[in-house]
Chains A and B, each alone.
Chain A
């Protein structure tokens, strides 16, 4: 009996949650009670601090309960609980290794709670728990702390970017990495930064700087973490964004429907309004202009230095302790940096020499890295020896077909980026493999051939050149590429815009009844008309005209227009010096095409212009696709930019799979299992083949709906239908007539439900 009584007493007496609830409702009345409990907490803390290791559960109330209680109501009594956060911080930082796990988690949770109540700021919180994260041996605590740090950073960046906090934390992470380069603690910095990058909370150069430091650390894990970030961080970010935008998870119409059907409750209406606002917010967010996020590789400050340090520290250095896999990661990063930023690290290419043998493990990755690191500013003579080596080692009659095809692929990828690295004897040799019996090798050789038809047809034998290249060579349209020659950049599709503008102008003139070509005297009014036109565009583009609008800088255009003919001829001479004079008449159309458009240099393009440009570009792309489908027509722009994989972006890496590419064709007959596996890839997730009606029925029964009357009739027991069938024979003439009448009526109407 006494035992039971005591249990009840315990419950009533030490009911902290009850007190907490009452304090929440009326803080001033319960000041004394809170003060008492705060003394209680202080004394328990004193008991704990006297012997932190041998802390026992004291009686009914434990320190844990008291901490929980005080942290929940601390915001009501800031004066009394002034020192509370600092005490928690002290306990955690001093004793986190010896605290019992539950108390430890409670302290962390309480600190986060205090942060949520704005009693401590984020900086204090993070500066307390981050050192614990890096130093605690407990895995549970680490996961907890990591989650808390991440969620705190997310919440403090949710409304607007909290630059101050971000900068502080970034500095902490940076110092963690640079402070002790050999320790594996830096891994936490890498993990945190990567996660924040993925969530697009940190997208600035400082973040990239942290990862750069990770890349040049001494600890293998940290190095790999940093390198992996550069290789895959951006893709991860994009995927995450797609994922998060995909899963709405809220079906407003469904909720609305349910609210309409079910009993009206406050809760349901609240849920509906919540869902609607959430969807609206999401919609709004989707319609917002896409934030311009640069990839990590582009935000890198001093890529040359970074690439050099990575190369010399991890790859060239014989003392480097990285294994092959890790080295390959570093190699991929360095080669991407070199290719992307067009860096010059000369010793980098000779580094490959010893790895370019078919026996080298994961040699395709080496080949891909080599190809990736080549760009137009690499001296061809360095590459020449490498290509020679690849050709000798990989491409021979004796080598296996897969080896030969991947060698050829690698050579092609290198030559795409630097066509000058090839000499004609080798090229002619390699092209001979197009007659190979093996399909993979044949395709690879044809790829190389196709490439050189475009970029250096004169190096091929005459019969290999093909019709177009041969014609081009004879007409002199194709000129020899020169090392270091960079074509002037231009806005893609600008010629289309210019053409379109010209057509518009002509159309207008025709409408007015003027001749198509304009004379000098008409230039003035023409321009004015154009200006009006321009104003109209502006209004369409939703830009306020009062704030100055677009300034028309066209004072000298008139002159330009007047002597367009002359200018054209001058330009012709300048561009095509090596063209012989006899071909001049034939050339005329070509030269107008190659002349760089001066639209962008003479006019300021309005947003409307850019919109039109976008439209035209899309149109051109579509028409190009259509043409390709019908019959192959050589397009002049496709000629200038040779691409192996039709639309490779500069930022996309070249992978080993692409080098292997056609090697899969070279493999012998595939086994049955492989065939089945390949088939399985195309399988849909449909369980079995069933008629549409059967599937519909299944769906209905899954949803808990009943069958239709028709179905019921069909399933009716045979014996039950017998009576009616018997009746049919016994019908009187009148009855039969009635039935037949109804039947013929129904036929006229067009079925039971009518045909109206």
Chain B
């Protein structure tokens, strides 16, 4: 403290040219706001709309009168090319070349991105739309295909067996992969040795393993060598081989994000490595680890090629993973759409819609868990505790009211 005072006092006594004066920050009347770059001016909008309209008119003349072509796609492409060139021309009227390039690139990038997003959304809506024929039937979710022939209407049979099969297979795969995957990821992060670096390299290499090769491996070893029948367990093994590297890799990345200072603080307080991992590293990265597990699950449940080779196909419900073929959602889709019958294809699309809903749900849950910060989690816990205490206090009030009532009647009766 003493040295501090000296340092402050000295310049006051002897002001010199070397002194740096620091002013207190100016209080702004309004808080600073981030400026938005870009944005859209009226003129920009007008030239875009104008170019679009002009290009449309030109394209109509070009494709119907001058050089006739057929097909909506061809017309669209001609229109788009004309639109971009008209827009470039419009901008070049009052801006230099640099700005023309900037504007045209902005329009092209925006339209390609829009195209991609609309394709992706279209894929989902197309599958769900074609599947909506099968979706209203309740039997579609609970029945199996045993009693339904290829010519039967959608009111007979369903994919209950595939839904259950998928759930059983992914559960077994998770029982195998979660402990192994998390242990391996913790190992890669906690123990830094030549061997652990080797393991990391091999795991990274294995993320390149095509899923069909994982299926082929299980087919050749478990089924042909060890005589495991084509069954749910074989499919689960194939899914596990495929999921394991994916899960380890993303869990490894998540664990690496745990601040080193937190670990050092824990070690510095005398905690053992095991205590540090259990009470600091894992809780800190809990949401990230959950996300990596859920995303690997989404991959595992949607992949067809490993189960194609290992699970076998059946139309009947089978809940025993150890024997007999067990069908899963992706495999059911694959088999349904092989048939030329419209009702079977509708079933295929319906199954695809169910599978998509499962994957979307998993994904949304993953996002929700992944965005869970400790602060938000704590807030949720406090809210839940409040609800619990209010319910408890409600019960307590009710109980005391009842007791009062009972006591009142008793005291009336007693005398």
Q: Is B a genuine binding partner of A? A: no
A binding-site residues for B, Cβ under 8 Å: none
B binding-site residues for A, Cβ under 8 Å: none
